[in-house]
Chains A and B, each alone.
Chain A
Amino acid sequence: MKQLLTGNEAAAEAAIQAGCRYYYGYPITPQNELINYMAIRMPQVGGTFIQAESEIAAINMVYGSAAAGGRAMTSSSSPGISLKQEAISYLAGSELPCVIVNIQRGGPGLGDISASQADYFQAVKGGGHGDYHLIVLAPSSVQEMADLVYDAFDLADKHRNPVMILGDAQIGQLMEPMEFSKKPREVFPLKDWALTGAEGRKRNVIKSFYPIKGQLEEFNAHLQKKYRTIREHEVRYEAINIHGADIVLVAYGTSARICKEVVKKSHQSEFKVGLIRPITLWPFPEQVIKTMSERVQCILTVEMSAGQMVEDVRLAVEGKCPVHFYGRTGGGVPTSLEIMRKIAEVVPSNLIDKVNRILPLVEVK
């Protein structure tokens, strides 16, 4: 049955459906609908809801529940996610599965409460210290928010790794029809490493501290091996009309929705626009971008930031074609007209006539 929910509510209910029974949070706009929903729902399913005294306390409670083998989650928005970074590094270092939702708002600093994608670097490059990666998933609709949050718990358990959902104020607060198509999770993977009481078995240890020389390097080698496996198996993306495209856009989340409009309108003309929408931001879909870059004249990356993911696009392309960038910052959201104008600016001169014919199609009427 279809329901009209905000992205924040969909994320919360999807977590419950996935068997999350431990939620710890601290209020911050624009993710308050999530914590509010959890406050109502967790007691109904016999779970634990705590409004912690701070973001830092909340993420450390997640560490505790994850160490004991529970499915645990926290959520916040940009400034609050910054506060959580120390514990996120510890979670990665202790290989604890959990889900962290970041409904991004404008930054730096206290910024504003409008939609932004300026926490990309923090999410995919390791916002805390040490050589680690989060698995980072970027929904671009309310339906996908629910689907990805549900999957996030499975991915976290499968790889014993924290997973981040990277949304933004628009996807969090937007209401769209959606449905929970997956069955509520009742059977969970065995966690023989968890701290469940050691009676009758060898004791388990959860730690990220390796003071004896050589041990930490060995542990890092293990982590890197795990990250290679994730890179090989967990890449997700959506590719639309990239074959025969004159230009391909690369965008995720809210930006990708607007790019899709440009792609759709270009169908009506002879100038073809394609789109690659990374769904996993880490692992990044570098292979498809690399292959595509050998066939197109140029790429345009669109973000609600001053240019962050564009660096990963350029690394994937390895100079095989020009990679351009269009971004809005501080709560600004790109429009399809702005994107078309940017396309007109960057395409090779032999394509300009074709582009000029499509421009009137995206004018807002």
Chain B
Amino acid sequence: MTEKIILAGFGGQGMMLLGKLLAQTAMIEGKYVTFFPSYGTEVRGGTAVYHLIISNEEIFSPLIEIADTLIIMNQPSYQKFKGMLKPEGLLIVNSSMVKVDSSVKSKVYKVPATELASKLGNVLVSNIIILGAYLAIRKLFSADHIMKQLREMLKNKKRELFTTNKQALESGIKVIKSLK
């Protein structure tokens, strides 16, 4: 098993945290993992992209040339990175901010993450909604394991924050389940 994921959005959409949560969980489950931020001299509102590789075997280059999965949070990232997805790959987009065109032939999941996050009262958890969707599709790790990592990361923060994140994860999972 090797899963190569490209995570992209604008700075502040939480792709770093999303990737780190997956990477931490992968590490604890004994997988090989590399997580690489590939940032340039980016402008505000532009793109921040992360290369995440999870594998049962040793990982050599942490750079992804062709991705198994693209998680895309905003339109500029979609334009920039859609070409990196393999033909039968998985595309998950934040449909509140991304319009998918007909050029993409892979399986596409549209999750209105920003909208759903606003409904939960915190737009910042849109990344966790997307994470919930990803877990429901790929089933790489259980939601419980991810929540455990999230609890660890938020241990010095307010309790409500953890509750909102938990709701966000569940909401992302629900979006995918309702499609099936």
Contact = CB atoms under 8 A, between A and B. Distances in A.
A112 B39 CA distance: 11
Contacts of A333: 61, 63
A4 B66 contact: no
A173 B62 CA distance: 11
A260 interface: yes
Interface string B34-64: 1111011100000000000000001011110
What bracket does the count of chain B residues touching chain A fall in? 20 to 34
B23 interface: yes
B59 to A, nearest CB: 8
A114 B60 CA distance: 18
A128 to B, nearest CB: 30
A365 interface: yes
A2 interface: yes
Contacts of A364: 65-66
Given A364-B65, A365-B66, A365-B86, A175 B36 contact: yes
Contacts of A264: 58, 60
Interface string A319-343: 0000000000000010110000000
B95 interface: no
Contacts of B35: 4, 174-176
B167 interface: no
A177 B32 CA distance: 8
Interface of A: 2, 4, 112-114, 170, 173-177, 257-258, 260-261, 264, 333, 335-336, 364-365
B109 to A, nearest CB: 23
22 contacts: A2-B27, A2-B28, A4-B27, A113-B40, A173-B36, A174-B34, A174-B36, A175-B20, A175-B34, A175-B35, A175-B36, A176-B62, A257-B60, A258-B60, A264-B60, A335-B61, A336-B60, A336-B61, A364-B65, A364-B66, A365-B66, A365-B86
A8 to B, nearest CB: 11
B33 interface: yes
Interface in B19-35: 20, 23-24, 27-28, 32-35
A112 B58 CA distance: 30
B24 A4 contact: yes
Given A4-B24, A175-B23, A113 B41 contact: yes
Contacts of A177: 27, 32-33
Q: Interface on chain B toward A: helix, strand, loop, or mixed SS?
A: mixed
Contacts of A113: 39-41
Nearest to B37: A173
Contact of B62 (A2, A174, A260, A336): A174
A112 to B, nearest CB: 8
Contacts of A260: 60
A168 to B, nearest CB: 12
A4 B41 contact: no
A123 to B, nearest CB: 23
Contacts of B39: 113
A336 B62 CA distance: 12
Given A4-B27, A261-B60, A261-B61, A170 B66 contact: no
Contacts of B24: 4
A177 B40 CA distance: 24
Nearest to A263: B60
A331 to B, nearest CB: 9
Interface in B133-164: none
Nearest to B40: A113
B23 A257 contact: no
Considering the complex of A and B, which 4 residue pairs feature the smallest CB-CB distances, nearest first?
A261-B60, A175-B35, A177-B27, A364-B65
A56 B61 CA distance: 34
A2 B29 CA distance: 11
Given A170-B36, A175-B35, A176-B34, A257 B61 contact: yes
Contacts of A261: 60-61
Interface string B91-114: 000000000000000000000000
A170 B60 CA distance: 12
Given A112-B41, A175-B20, 14 more contacts: A4-B24, A4-B27, A114-B40, A174-B34, A175-B34, A176-B62, A257-B61, A258-B60, A261-B60, A261-B61, A336-B60, A336-B61, A364-B65, A365-B86
A46 to B, nearest CB: 23
